[in-house]
Amino acid sequence: MCCGTPVVVVAAAAPVVVVVVIIVVVAVVVVVFVVVVVVVVVVVVVVVVEAAPVVVVVVVVVVVVVFIVVVVVVVAMVVAVVAVTVT
């Protein structure tokens, strides 16, 4: 009884640990990506201050769209990995 229990606990906890690690990694990647995007946007806006406001709006929209796509892809990958891990 005593010796079998830890194995069961570890086996049960393994998928949870994997999921938590994946979530943490994804969170870090997303945060880093957001920081990079914000820095790039700020630099572009500062450099292109004298350009038409339309240019700035277009750049911001493109960046936001790219960010959304990346987040969706990352989430999809995480869901796929979790699904494979759990089943």
Question: Percent of the chain beyond pLDDT 90?
Answer: 0
Report pLDDT for 71.
81
pLDDT > 60? residue 3: no
Report pLDDT for 17.
74
Report pLDDT for 7.
61
Cβ 27 vs Cβ 74: under 8 Å = no
Q: Whole-model pTM above 0.75?
A: no
Digit-coded pLDDT (tens) for 8-46: 666 666 777 777 777 778 778 877 888 888 778 777 777
Neighbours of 74 (CB within 10 A): 16
